[in-house]
Amino acid sequence: MSDGEIIGLGYVGVRTAALDDWRGFATGLLGLQAQPLASGLLGFRMDDAAQRLMLRAADDDGVDQYGWEVRDAEALQSLAARIERDGHEVIAMSPALRAERQVRDGAWTIDPAGNRLEFFHGQARADTPFAPGRPILGFRTGSLGMGHAVLNVGDIDRLLPYYRNLLGFRLSDYTLRPFKAYFFHTGPRHHSLALIENDRPGLHHLMIELSGFDDVGQAYDLAQLEPGRVAATLGRHSNDHMTSFYIRTPSRFLIEYGWGGRDIDPNSWQACELQHGPSLWGHDRDWLSDELKHEARRMRLAAAAAGERAPLRVSPGA
Ligand SMILES: [Fe+2]
């Protein structure tokens, strides 16, 4: 069992056939800072890290890599050794790859679902302050990582031992209805990774957390100017308490744009089954079938009838 080498989600690399659409979307709506990189690559900043979201022009859409941050060289070594002992190949990053990722050192492997996972330490800091693409307070990152990634997988039970026992992700909670989803933490962020079971493998959504509540509301206004841009209405999650909405990106995955996620104490946390589904209110998901939409709505109304509510986490000025 891991001693918790993974700190959080450090970066995500995406390949896309719509790189030009991404630039205006990521800066003008999300508020990221564009950071042109080598030819064919486009990086985006969310904070003082040199890059968080990396895009590569391609003929198709998908995720190239998930970058998980570890504490230091020792943590990288022990995690890599454990993965290898379990029979999975781990490849050290070449100097060229380290330079492209802007990390001191790293290694990568492929998970049983075919996702490329990179582990790294020493992410480069930018030499200029973060300059958001639209006026926002900024993003809540630091030791919490850049947010969370939620992956669609065909069979959660097949992946649980890999992520939990081998990589050391700790179960936060899970829900079985209206869909099966498992949530995992690496530190105080309630989840940095979640798995949703369905037959459309790939990244379901990437959550980025805003420092200011009004930043989310203003993005909600902006997103509604474009037909089809809002994929789930404003709502609040029952487990991480995030108030958020879901945005359709120029690629196939969604961005959850949130505020007010709770902090948990990983040392005392007890995993449980969510009894009222994933949302306390809102989050009407346009990608669900009519039947599942109906069930999700019924569960939210039951949560409301039971008086379910959660405290707010508010930072000064946010
Ligand atoms: Fe999420």
The model's pLDDT over 171-181, given as tens digits with 9 standing for 90+, comes to 999 998 888 99
User: How many other CB atoms sit within 10 Å of the CB of residue 92?
Assistant: 12
The phi and psi torsions of 7 (rounded to 5 degrees) equal -90, -45
pLDDT over 70 at 98, yes or no: yes
pLDDT at 4: 62
Q: Which CATH architecture has domain 6-305?
A: Roll (3.10)
Give tens-digit pLDDT for 279-307: 999 999 999 999 999 999 999 999 999 99
The pLDDT, as a whole number, for residue 37 is 76
pLDDT in tens, 199-226: 999 999 999 999 999 999 999 999 999 9
Question: Over 50: is that where the pLDDT of 82 sits?
Answer: yes
What is the Å distance from ligand 1's center to 311 Cα? 18
Show me where the domains of the chain are located: 6-305
Q: What is the mean pLDDT of residues 182-196?
A: 97
pTM above 0.75, yes or no: yes
Q: Tens digits of per-residue pLDDT, 114-166? A: 999 999 999 999 999 999 999 999 999 999 999 999 999 999 999 999 999 99
Instruction: Kindly state the average pLDDT of the residues 61-76.
Output: 97
> What was the pLDDT predicted at 314?
86
Greater confidence (266 vs 314) lies with 266
At 3, is the pLDDT very low, low, confident or very high (cuts 50, 70, 90)? Answer: low
Cα of 91 vs centre of ligand 1, distance in Å, is 30
In the reported structure, the alpha carbon of residue 264 is separated from the centroid of ligand 1 by a whole-number distance in angstroms of 16
**How much distance in Å is there from the Cα of 94 to the middle of ligand 1?**
33
Does position 1 have pLDDT exceeding 50, yes or no? no
Distance 147 CA to ligand 1 centre (A): 9
pLDDT value of position 2:
41
Mean pLDDT confidence for 54-81: 96
CA of 276 to the centre of ligand 1 (A): 16
* 121 C-alpha to ligand 1 centroid (Å): 25
Angle at 11 between CA 6 and CA 15, to 5 degrees: 135
pLDDT at 284: 96
39 C-alpha to ligand 1 centroid (Å): 32
pLDDT of residue 132: 98
The overall average pLDDT reported for the chain is: 95
DSSP string, 250-306: SSSSEEEEEE-PPB--TTT---EE-SS-SEEEE--BTTS-HHHHHHHHHHHHHHHHT
Burial 181-212 (b: 16+ CB within 10 A, else e): bbbbbbbebbbbbbbbbeeeebbbbbbbbbeb
Q: Quote the CA–CA distance of 303 and 24 in Å, as a whole number.
A: 38
